[in-house]
Amino acid sequence: MKENFLRPPRGPAEYAADALRVFGLLGVVFAAIRLQPTDAGILALTLPALVAPRFLGARASFDIAFSAIVLLAAWSNVIDLYRTVDGWDIVMHVVCMAALVPMAYLLLAHWGVVPATASPDFRRRVPIVLYPVLGLALGAVWEMIEWAGFVFISDDIFVEYHDTISDMAVGALGALAAGVLLAGVRLDRA
């Protein structure tokens, strides 16, 4: 993983992916100086996610899409799109899980838990079956973090039973869609 992270970018797409990471870091600095501390905290939570594709050796196209989605989700919170745009929460849960779950699969493949997409042991059905399961698990963790934020940080964080269940359900649908679409696609660098 360290070798992947330290490897210089090759080609315009890898430079673009790294530019998104720099944008994420600058966003945290901007929020810390000009916005609320909670906004800076929300944006700071994106930083581990933004470097994950680099550590895991994700393909540049997947890295760009993943990083853009992570930044969009965080900035949607900062600029209050979740409260001001009807259905934005649902859309973002679908899109975020469609991005987060394949990245989680890359991590599991790196650890040897599941076969890498380039492995002869890989079967196209694996993402179709496993992605929704991972989506439900990640969705549960996501909702627990929202609940902890509500209880321990700010009661401005919206937590409600129907919202929690619908977020997890649509997240699983996003993960399933990603599994179907990416069943035969290699997400790591060749």
Residue spans per domain, the chain: 1-79, 88-185
**Confidence band (pLDDT; 50, 70, 90) for 35?**
very high
Instruction: Tell me the Cα Rg of the chain.
Output: 17
Side chain identity at 53, as an amino acid letter? P
Does the pTM surpass 0.85? The reply is yes
Distance CA 134, CA 123 (A): 17
Q: What is the pLDDT of residue 87?
A: 93
Span 121-162, pLDDT tens digits: 989 999 999 999 999 999 999 888 888 877 887 776 667 777
